[in-house]
A and B are shown apart, each in its own frame.
Chain A
Amino acid sequence: MRSNLGVRIAQILPTLVLVSIMVFCLQQLMPGDPALVLAGEERDPAVLAQIRTELWLDRPLAMQYFHWIGNVLQGDLGFSWRIREPVLNLVIAKLPVTAQLGLMAFVIAICIGVPMGIVSAVKKNSFWDYAANGIGLAGLSTPNFWLGIMLILVVSVQLGWLPPSGYVPLTEDWRQSLATTVMPAFVLGNALAAVLMRHTRSAMLTALEQDYVRTARAKGLLEIRVVLRHALRNALVPVVTLGALELGTLLSGAVLTEQVFSIPGFGKLIVDAVFNRDYPVVQGVVLVTATVYIGLNLLADIAYVFLNPRLRNA
């Protein structure tokens, strides 16, 4: 296992280099000219020329890349062309916001998806199974932005229960922070809950037919103990992998959800940056997101070992 882990860690660096090259090249393929955006409505030719020189836009692409990556290696992600703040500051300020949202969404997804999957598997082909599948399908098919706008209209505008925006960090006012993030977290966790439900169900169905479950029942254990302690524990391994992989999907889902609920996180940062052709912000955010994603996958690998003792000696 230790050598496996070593290989996994060694793979991270080349992956990140590839990511950095790809993100740099991809945005060059994006149509539009950042200098035109930055020069403002008046598009003064002298200002345009000055911007191109100042931001290295008039140099060859390879030079621009090495200039950027050289700074990144020294811990400098550059500064936002639009608001003239260091990208690193923006990333540090936004990452915890999206992490909070993502984590809340993940917890909501687990709290809804896993129990529903268990019930659905244990009560296979019953009303509960069909109901859980129906809810799961609805959860998968509902677009984030639509659900978000509907929740705002019903919960905030009509009922006045929760604020539609006005995020504050947990450390500032935890009640306000939770009040402003619970709806977006639900929206974000909704699709993941459906995915987790379906995978928990199928993994549980397989587990419940295994010999060790029969043995557990034969020993006279309570059914709830058989289901939760014996079947679920084994069924969870693929679910954890999926959960970790889906955390990345949560980050991309946050892009839309944060726009709808005006949450000042990573998603809003990158959307605004793409629309304004703020390349350093796009590059910085994608690089950090990729690093987080790769890190989460590594954590999932480690989590397997805790969940499945057989892997410890592999």
Chain B
Amino acid sequence: MRPILFLAAAAALSLPVAASAQTNPPQTLRIGIADDADALDPTLSRTLVGRFVFASLCDKLVDIDAKLNIVPQLAQSYRWVDSKTLEFKLRPNVKFHDGTALDGDAVKFNMDRHLNMAGSTRKGEIGGLDHVEVIDPLTVRMVLKAPNSPFLAQLTDRAGMMVSPKAAVAAGANFGQHPVCAGPFKFTERVPQDRIVVDKFADYWDVGNVHLNRVVYQPIVDSTIRLSNLRAGSLDMAERIQPPDVATVKADPKLKIEIFDYLGYNGLTFNIANGSQPRTPMMKDARVRQAFALSIDRQAIVDVVYNGMYAPIAQPVPAFSPFYAPEVKPAGRDIAKAKALLAEAGVKTPLSVEIMLPTTADQRQIGEVVQSMAAEAGFDVKIKATEFVTLLKAQADGDYEISLIGWSGRADADGNIYNFIHSGAPLNDSKYANPAVDALLEQTRAETDVAARRALYGKIAVQSNLDLPIMYLYSQKNLIAMSTKVGGFSPIADGLIRVKGLTLGQ
């Protein structure tokens, strides 16, 4: 009897203490996201999954469309008054979830909050902003410190999200626990690691295009399990499906998949002058890096690892971007030239080099493909699979020779290049410094004409393919799987799921 008492006591302990009665209404969309979001505060947020949730909670001043054009959202229109002044006409009758109105003062409050709040991760993004002028309740002007054409694109993401000043002041640093924005859905509940629930906002400015009553975001880290949940009917949509699983989705009559363009890239970052480790021939001599690059066939990597689904590139923006320079094409594989360059550099082969890469199966496979291709040119490639956070630290500290790492991408090309190759920039882990490239990069920021900027980016790509701080390998695709019941999905290259316009059939 007594062991039973012991068990009964343990059973009593196991009764969950907190329960939030929750039955989902009809038209509830369940989305599987690849991780749990961080703080749901646009000023503090730093994760991609957080942006998925913001896509339903927080509208932005401007958004991007499928062709990466910047289109109005909370702003009705925008114009450059001069090269340093950006004017927004706000949409009238926009309300935050707490019923307060969006006006010029609210926009000023939000930009000041991004700039001044402790822990703000937006500060760097809008660092070019000098001040905001409220012209009238529906007109604001953002005055920049210097001409800065990429500034507008920053407002298509979290920097352009508007939160209720009243709620933000009341909640202080805890605002992220109960965000109040002006998006189509309002925050209802969050159970960390389990779900984030948002409900339709009846006073939304474009409520006619909101067809769902509730959206539930469920973090499921493993993509295979995320897909299994979708197949079992526990989810309606799942983001970031892995390329090998595309066939499974296509074979399932209850599912469909959207495969569409991606803003980022994956590439090999070469350590040129970062850290205190002894400088290897790869670090010292651009010819050695060029030889390495010539030994690699990008198309072969894409074919072997991703069934040809991705596109090889030799610049940091994908081919559909208005900033893509078509004249800069990936060089073909040329082993003879690679060997000649190594001989010219006076390098004794086989030359031992080390590639640091994340522990995921596909990245390891890329490492192995590179290893076998580079061997033919005289490189003895060692692969060092490293847990991602450790890899980031090693890369920042310069404790690596070559690092295989990607970038999620930004709508404006500046977000894919400036911080990575401008001397002294925070993401320049190569510690590459070329004054000519720096000058070109500065010119791209001052120039507002897209064609002129594209030409400048083309020049930068040509030079950076010679110096090789980064060898761009390929641009990925967004892969979002969903039930056939889901309709109205609009594929936008940032990969986010815009819930406005989505429908859920029976």
Contact = CB atoms under 8 A, between A and B. Distances in A.
Contacts of A94: 193
Contacts of B16: 96-97, 100, 169-172
Give the interface residue-count category, chain A: 35 or more
A108 to B, nearest CB: 12
A43 interface: yes
Contacts of B173: 84
Nearest to B120: A47
A167 to B, nearest CB: 7
Interface in B2-28: 2-3, 6-7, 10-11, 13-22
A119 to B, nearest CB: 20
B225 A262 contact: yes
A240 B3 contact: yes
A269 B396 CA distance: 27
Interface in A76-118: 80, 82-85, 90, 92-94, 96-97, 99-100, 102-103, 106-107
Interface in A144-158: 149, 152-153, 156-157
A277 interface: yes
A80 B396 CA distance: 24
Interface stretch (B227-235, B318-326, B437-445): B227-235
Given A32-B393, A93-B191, A171-B16, A259 B221 contact: yes
A156 B232 contact: yes
A96 B389 contact: no
A103 B20 CA distance: 22
B194 A33 contact: no
Contact of A47 (B10, B45, B121, B219): B121
A54 to B, nearest CB: 7
B17 A85 contact: no
A303 B2 contact: yes
Nearest to B2: A306
Contacts of A167: 194
A40 B157 CA distance: 14
A236 interface: yes
A42 interface: yes
A7 to B, nearest CB: 22
A198 interface: no
Given A166-B234, A264-B193, A103 B10 contact: yes
A43 B18 contact: no
Nearest to B399: A31
Contacts of B38: 82-84
Contacts of A156: 228, 232, 234
Interface in B211-246: 218-222, 224-225, 228-229, 231-234
A211 interface: no
Contacts of B225: 149, 152, 164-165, 259-260, 262
B77 interface: no
Contacts of A90: 192
B256 interface: no
A209 interface: no
B176 interface: yes
A160 B232 CA distance: 6
Contacts of B121: 39-40, 42, 44, 47
A58 B153 CA distance: 34
B229 A164 contact: yes
A172 B407 CA distance: 42
Contacts of A45: 426
Interface in B388-418: 388-390, 392-394, 396, 407-408
A50 B426 contact: no
A163 interface: yes
Give the interface residue-count category, chain B: 35 or more
B3 to A, nearest CB: 7
B345 interface: no
Given A44-B123, A260-B222, A277 B192 contact: no
B174 interface: yes
Contact of B232 (A44, A163, A260): A163
B118 A54 contact: yes
A199 interface: no
B393 A31 contact: yes
A42 B11 CA distance: 47
B100 interface: no
A208 B384 CA distance: 56
A99 B11 CA distance: 8
Contact of A306 (B3, B177, B388, B419): B3
Contacts of A127: none
A307 interface: yes
Contacts of B45: 40
Contacts of B220: 165, 262
B93 interface: no
B46 interface: yes
Contacts of A170: 14-16
Contacts of B13: 96, 99, 103
A286 interface: no
A165 B221 contact: no
Contact of A42 (B14, B44, B426): B426
Given A84-B39, A84-B177, A156-B232, A51 B119 contact: yes
Interface in A244-303: 259-260, 262, 264, 268-269, 272, 275-277, 299, 303
B118 A50 contact: yes
B283 to A, nearest CB: 22
A172 B11 CA distance: 17
Given A47-B120, A107-B7, A307-B3, A38 B46 contact: yes
A170 B12 CA distance: 12
Contacts of A168: 19, 22
A46 interface: yes
Given A165-B229, A264-B193, 4 more contacts: A33-B396, A39-B121, A93-B191, A157-B232
Query: Which 8 A-B pairs have CB atoms at the shortest separation, nearest pair first?
Result: A40-B46, A169-B16, A44-B124, A264-B194, A32-B389, A306-B2, A156-B232, A31-B390
6 contacts: A41-B408, A43-B396, A100-B15, A156-B234, A240-B3, A259-B221
Interface of B: 2-3, 6-7, 10-11, 13-22, 35-39, 44-47, 118-121, 123-125, 173-174, 176-177, 191-194, 218-222, 224-225, 228-229, 231-234, 387-390, 392-394, 396, 407-408, 419, 426-427
